């Protein structure tokens, strides 16, 4: 597995769930990182704490780790390797991918363990 550079983004994030027919508030997109996914069953939002849409069911207390990209679409096993390393350390995650790269959210209480596990696997982790 190729060694990756992972940036720990500042601040706390929330994972929110809304009814699938809910409109996404335009102001939500003023944040530096927001992910919105709609299915027939739900509208999921990942956003900085304090920006979750009104009425959402939220899971607070997450930290965002971003793999430096862009990553080529031909690369394989990136998310599997990172997830495996975190799982071996007992760290659960919430995974997201974008066109350019992969993102992982880990619980704030698990951040230090996650950073240690990724560094032990040979990845560069940049905090701050």
* Chain segment 4-58, per-residue pLDDT in tens: 899 999 999 999 999 999 999 899 999 999 999 999 999 999 999 999 999 999 9
How many domains, the chain?
Answer: 1
Q: What's this model's pTM, rounded to 2 decimal places?
A: 0.92
Domain that holds residue 72: 5-127
CATH number of 95's domain: 3.30.2130.10
Among residues 55, 34, 61, the alpha carbon closest in space to that of 45 is found at 34
* Chain segment 58-77, per-residue pLDDT in tens: 999 999 999 988 777 767 77
Q: Is residue 28 packed enough to be buried (19+ CB in 10 Å), middle (13-18) or exposed (0-12)?
A: middle
At 95, list the tokens. Answer: 């995974």
Q: Is residue 122 packed enough to be buried (19+ CB in 10 Å), middle (13-18) or exposed (0-12)?
A: exposed
Q: Report whether 9 contacts 63 (CB < 8 A).
A: yes
* Chain segment 78-122, per-residue pLDDT in tens: 888 899 999 999 999 999 999 999 999 999 999 999 999 999 999
């Amino acid at each position: 597995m190729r060694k990756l550079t992972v940036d720990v983004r500042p601040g706390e994030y929330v994972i929110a769930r809304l009814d699938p027919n809910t409109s996404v508030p335009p102001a939500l997109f003023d944040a530096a990182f927001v992910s919105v996914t709609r299915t027939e069953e739900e509208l999921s939002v990942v956003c900085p704490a304090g920006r979750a849409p009104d009425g959402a069911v939220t899971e607070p207390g997450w930290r965002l780790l971003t793999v430096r990209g862009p990553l080529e679409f031909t690369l394989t096993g990136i998310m599997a390797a990172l997830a495996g390393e975190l799982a071996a350390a007992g760290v659960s995650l919430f995974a997201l991918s974008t066109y350019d790269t992969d993102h992982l959210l880990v619980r704030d209480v698990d951040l230090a363990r996650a950073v240690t596990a990724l560094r032990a696997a040979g990845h560069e982790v940049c905090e701050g």
